[in-house]
Amino acid sequence: MIVKPFGAAIALLLGLAGTVIAGPVSASPSPLATAALPAATSTTSLAAATGDDIAVNVTPGNLGSLTDGDQLRLTVTIANSSASSIQIAEVTASINRARLTTRNQLDTWFAATDATVSAPSSIARETVSAINPNETRTIQLAVPASSLGFTSAGVYPVLIGVVSNGAVIGSARTAVVWKVDGSKVVKLAVAAPLVVPTAVVDPTTPAPTSGLIDAATLESYTAPDGLLTTQLNAMARSGVTIGVDPRILASIRVLGTAAPQSALDWVERLRFVSNDTFPLNYADADATLMLQAGGKSLVEPTSFDFAIDAGRFATPEPTPTDGSAPAAPADPTQPQVPTLQEALAWNYSIPSVSWPTANAVTKSNLESLVNSGASTVILSSGNVTQRSPLANAAAVVDTANVVVADDSLSGLLNDAVTAPSLADWSAATARLSAAVAITSNVARSGAPTLLATVGRSWPTTGYRLEQTLAALNSNPWVVGTSLQTAITSASSPGSIADRPETADRLSQATLMRAAEVRENRFSAIVEDPLALTAERRLALMSLLSNAWVDDPDGWDAATDAFLDESQAMVSSVKIAESSTVTLANSSGSLPVSVSNSYTQPVTVYVQVRPQTALIAVDEPSVKITIEPGSLHKAQIPVQSLSNGTVELTVSLADELGRIVGTPTEIKMNVHADWESLGTVIFGAFVVVIFGIGIIRTIRKRRRRAGTVDAPEATTDATPHE
């Protein structure tokens, strides 16, 4: 429950110093009634006739809450941010004495979207001397109650105009609440996200590298004046329902003893706040974007083991016994590292609430959220049709239990929470107060229980949550309540108004989903697949954070970096370029070199498929392991069948035969007859040599034989008979 502060304290907050007090003027047509007014908000930057930049701001005293006899005090600031002076100008205030009867009228008045609501009756006028370059002038206009002319309780539009040389150079709009007594009190629940900015690791880089918050950043965020400390203190003191980003808890827990003490103290502070709490998606990721991009289920973390240093965690204590047996010793190899569930665990008071991105949910998305376990879904009012604007936040939309966040109130609340200055905050809070007042005033019986939400990104200008809700709840027509109360209020039927994500976001999300599919396939070849996919999943969820919605250019740069990193990863294991290979024998091997520039060892199967029948591959799939930053050569045995040039398709695959990376082509020159021809030639050579030898041997023997057989002369006399 939000506690109302003392009215005196709020009045002090709203007090702004004035330099000129203007008296009442007769009710006459305002010079702005017929002038062409530019679209204006409570703080409006405009181009004057001379080209000077003018910012006009108006704040009604006491948040614009008036009763009988109260005069209306208006604080007007005119800021000249140009290099030229603004000549003498007239500041006028005018009203419409017919009260606004619907929230839609008030919304269109604030937005200046059409002329159905006007402020034709002038109630104050003051002349302002020249405003120098870079000078801001503050004017106080005081209007007696008798000049207002209001006749019934309600909300009335107020218009401030600045006219110079007959031209309107600036305007601002607000509203005042007259005699709304709080007999019908609006219960307003507020849900606020406890989150961190998008660049959680290094603000100079567009995308987080791991989806976890590093120790140095955690120490900075949880310091006494740190971002998370500022948020938590404001939320605790204002009683809002807190949506907690589990990334914060997990980032602290995986650090073990390396977690900063300030972060541990911050967790204890969160543990003891009395606010209702519920879990956001990890990194406050857009719950429906990947579904609309073709995903089959919600994106969730898978593991934190890759980020855990077991040396930073204690080992288990010995198991206690009843004394009859010695205690079991602790196992020093099994430190008490947190599991996935333990890293994300928290005792939420509302554990099953889903808060998807505002106005980006379709009917099928709503069914997926319910099927994933959400008992209640927070939907923006622009996502729901067929509901009364005065209905409670609780609704049954297409059979799903939802609570509907009022877009208009949420927008006004965020204008106040993120206001860059006290004057801007006062103006925004007055508009928020009027919006709640008109709901109370036009309610026929009891006022409804409504829900407003705080923006999903961390404001760069300030965080005035506590200040805003304290001021708002000082009014008699509104009281703060919890999200649980809004959930359990009487519900009304409604229908989903399909609001798909923008085409640009869907296009990028589709590319990231396809990249994750490729990464999962690539992970099958690495030594520790979960370390790869788990880290990349967290990085993906960080890029799906709702905080990026307001920074489309930054998101495009971050997602492009993610896709580039993904492509580099899946391309890190590849077949090295090869020149034409020559196979000179009837059998041999095809050398295939595979490089690995990834950070883990990989195991792949080198597959070779010839595109012609000139060779046969004996082993079409050869298994090899390549260490990080190295190259390994596989030898694929082949048999030549004929001569010619063969083109072979070489690819890498995992153990299931799924192709990894891009196949490549290798050419091989096959000379299948070189070996047999050489054998024939050699055999012929041997035959010739042996033949020549034999012939020579025969000839030699014949020559010898001829010499032995010839008649020889003798000197012996033959005896006569």
472 — pLDDT class (breaks 50, 70, 90): very high
Structure tokens at 426: 């006062």
More confident residue, 325 or 261: 261
Place of tokens 């961390």: 458
Structure tokens at 293: 């991009």
Cα separation, 426 vs 423, in Å, equals 5
Q: How far apart are the first and last CA of the chain?
A: 172
pLDDT at 123 over 90: yes
Q: Residue 473: which of 439, 429, 441, 442 has the closest Cα?
A: 429
pLDDT in tens, 36-92: 343 333 333 333 333 348 899 999 999 899 998 999 999 999 998 888 888 888 999
Mean pLDDT of 241-264: 97
Last residue of a domain, one of 130, 161, 179: 179
pLDDT at 628 over 70: yes
Cα separation, 253 vs 308, in Å, equals 9
200 — pLDDT class (breaks 50, 70, 90): very low
pLDDT in tens, 287-345: 999 999 999 899 999 999 999 999 999 876 666 655 555 555 555 567 789 999 999 99
Angle CA(127)–CA(131)–CA(134) in degrees, nearest 5? 150
- Report the phi/psi class of residue 208: left, alpha or beta, with left for phi > 0 and alpha for psi in -120 to 50: beta
**Cα dist from 680 to 8, 676, 686, 694, whole Å:** 116, 6, 10, 20
343: helix, strand or coil: helix
**pLDDT in the model for residue 647:** 86
Mean pLDDT of 605-629: 90
Counting residues of the chain whose pLDDT is more than 90, the rounded percentage is 63
CATH code, domain with 643: 2.60.40.10
**pLDDT in the model for residue 704:** 67
21 — pLDDT class (breaks 50, 70, 90): very low
CA 9 from centroid of its chain's CA atoms = 39
**pLDDT in the model for residue 327:** 56
**pLDDT in the model for residue 30:** 46
**pLDDT in the model for residue 121:** 93
Does residue 721 sit within a domain? Answer: no
Bridge-based pairing state of the strands 24-29 and 277-279: unpaired
Cα separation, 142 vs 126, in Å, equals 10
Concatenate the DSSP letters of all residues of 437-470 into one string.
HHHHHH-SSSPPEEEEE--SS--SS---HHHHHH
Find out whether 378 and 426 touch, Cβ atoms under 8 Å: no
Residues 126 and 201 in one domain: no
Residue 45: exposed, middle, or buried by beta-carbon count in 10 A (0-12, 13-18, 19+)? middle
- CA torsion angle for 471, 476, 478, 479 (degrees, to 10)? 80
603: helix, strand or coil: strand
Residues 111 and 257 in one domain: no
Amino acid at 77: T
Does residue 316 sit within a domain? Answer: no
Report the largest interatomic distance among the alpha carbons of the chain, rounded to a whole angstrom: 198
Concatenate the DSSP letters of all residues of 320-341 into one string.
P--SSSPPBPP-TTS--PPPHH
Cα separation, 298 vs 289, in Å, equals 9
**pLDDT in the model for residue 706:** 63
More confident residue, 478 or 696: 478
Starting at the edge strand that comes first in sequence, how are the strands of the sheet with 573-575 ordered?
573-575, 587-596, 630-640, 615-617
Q: What is the 3-state secondary structure (H, E, C) of 406-442?
A: CHHHHHHHHHHHCCCCHHHHHHHHHHHHHHHHHHHHH
Place of tokens 């050869």: 622
Cα separation, 296 vs 558, in Å, equals 24
Neighbours of 58 (CB within 10 A): 28
608: CB partners within 8 A, 6+ apart: 590, 592, 617, 620, 636, 638, 648, 649, 650
Structure tokens at 137: 């002038």
Last residue of a domain, one of 431, 463, 496: 496
Does residue 522 sit within a domain? Answer: no
Residues 213 and 284 in one domain: yes
Cα separation, 283 vs 547, in Å, equals 9
Concatenate the DSSP letters of all residues of 303-320 into one string.
--GGG--GGGSPPPPPBP
Cα separation, 258 vs 16, in Å, equals 48
**Cα dist from 260 to 174, 217, 218, 223, whole Å:** 47, 10, 7, 10
pLDDT in tens, 399-450: 999 999 999 999 999 999 999 999 899 999 999 999 999 999 988 778 899 9
Q: Which domain holds residue 156?
A: 7-179
CATH code, domain with 208: 3.20.20
Does residue 720 sit within a domain? Answer: no
Concatenate the DSSP letters of all residues of 167-198 into one string.
EEEEEEEEEEEES--SSSPEEEEEEEEE---S
78: CB partners within 8 A, 6+ apart: 54, 55, 56, 86, 89, 91, 128, 131, 136, 137, 139, 162, 170
Residues 491 and 624 in one domain: no
Residues 379 and 307 in one domain: yes
Does residue 400 sit within a domain? Answer: yes
Structure tokens at 173: 């709009």
Q: Which of 105-119, 179-193, 214-228 is least confident?
A: 105-119
Structure tokens at 204: 């100079």
**pLDDT in the model for residue 716:** 46
Does residue 477 sit within a domain? Answer: yes
What is the number of structural domains in the chain? 3
Residues 169 and 197 in one domain: no
Does residue 691 sit within a domain? Answer: no
Residues 350 and 447 in one domain: yes
pLDDT in tens, 204-230: 444 444 699 999 999 999 999 999 999
pLDDT at 673 over 50: yes
pLDDT in tens, 555-583: 999 999 999 999 999 999 999 887 777 77
Residues 305 and 420 in one domain: yes
Residues 83 and 162 in one domain: yes
Does residue 698 sit within a domain? Answer: no
76: CB partners within 8 A, 6+ apart: 56, 57, 58, 91, 93, 138, 139, 140, 141, 160, 172
Residues 196 and 274 in one domain: yes
Residues 174 and 196 in one domain: no
Last residue of a domain, one of 465, 496, 527: 496
**CA gyration radius, the chain:** 42
Beta bridge partners of 92: 125, 161
Structure tokens at 141: 């206009």
494: helix, strand or coil: strand
Which helix (H) or strand (E) segment is 687 a member of?
helix 674-709
More confident residue, 62 or 33: 62
Residues 197 and 346 in one domain: yes
Q: Give the sign of the dihedral formed by CA 540, CA 541, CA 544, CA 546.
A: negative
Place of tokens 């250019």: 553
pTM above 0.75, yes or no: yes
